[in-house]
Amino acid sequence: MDIHSLKGLADSIGASTLADTAQKLENALNNDSHMELELLIDELDSSIKLVLNSLREIFSLQLKNNDSKSEVL
């Protein structure tokens, strides 16, 4: 996946911090701003981890809710 696609995906799921960081990284790559790259890659890594952890939590809660609904039936 390229950085532009990651930005679009992040926008589509409402992960605005991840989308903003991906945009900054894309701009730095296009402008040959190599001094910023390491910092932006670290920010991107942190943002991705945050989004993944949030999604895991959401799906975990959803599975628990589905399990408790099945028990009632």
d(CA 48, CA 28): 18
The pLDDT of residue 73 is 52
Nearest to residue 40, comparing CAs of 23, 64, 57, 56? 23
Is residue 15 classed as helix, strand or coil in its secondary structure?
Answer: coil
* Domain housing 46: 3-72
Q: Does the global pTM surpass 0.85? A: no
Positions in the chain whose pLDDT score sits under 70: 68-73
Would you state the structure tokens that stand for residue 45, as one six-digit string? 């890594």
Number of structural domains found in the chain: 1
The pLDDT of residue 7 is 96
| Burial readout 14-33 (b: 16 or more C-beta within 10 A, e: otherwise) | ebeebbebbbbbbebbeeee
Is residue 11 classed as helix, strand or coil in its secondary structure?
Answer: helix
